Amino acid sequence: MWHLVVSKQPWLATIAGEQMPDLTPVREIGALRDRHADVSARWLATVRDIDRRDAWSDRVVDALCVPPESFLLGQIVAHELTFSAHRRLLVRWMLRDAGVDVDVPALDPDPIVWHRRHTGGGTP
């Protein structure tokens, strides 16, 4: 779960031109939940800004990589979406193996179901 929460932080730092964030793992669920709330809000704001500016093809130099690499903003978002989906499925498997019922509507991983739940079924 930690990687699911913090994987966006280096990308956010790269896009904003910031230093590498502290990625030291935490085990306390409250701290993880708080970190997720902060990171997800920043990630969504960044993606919305990229979309608003139609900046999907804008390029950033990731100075946090050794050696530095260049990425398109669209590549970064696609990368994060792909690996977040993978990590979410792994978490569901681990929770199920631990005896947690993940087959409840609130935990459905389908983005269509999530969108309908949060919008009342409408489209923006």
89-103 tens-digit pLDDT: 898 899 899 999 888
102 and 92 Cβ atoms separated by less than 8 Å: yes
Question: E-strand spans in the chain?
Answer: 59-62, 69-72
| Spatial separation of the C-alpha atoms in residues 102 and 95, rounded to whole Å | 7
Q: Which helix (H) or strand (E) holds 86?
A: helix 73-97
In the prediction, which pLDDT does 111 show?
79
Indicate the pTM of the whole model. 0.83
Angle at 86 between CA 8 and CA 17, to 5 degrees: 15
In the prediction, which pLDDT does 14 show?
96
Q: Can you read off the two tokens belonging to residue 32?
A: 């993880």
In the prediction, which pLDDT does 26 show?
86
Angle at 69 between CA 67 and CA 71, to 5 degrees: 165
Give me the residues of the chain with pLDDT under 70, please: 122-124
Q: Where are the domains of the chain?
A: 2-119
Residue 92 contacts by C-beta under 8 Å, 6 or more apart in sequence?
102, 107, 109
In the prediction, which pLDDT does 28 show?
92
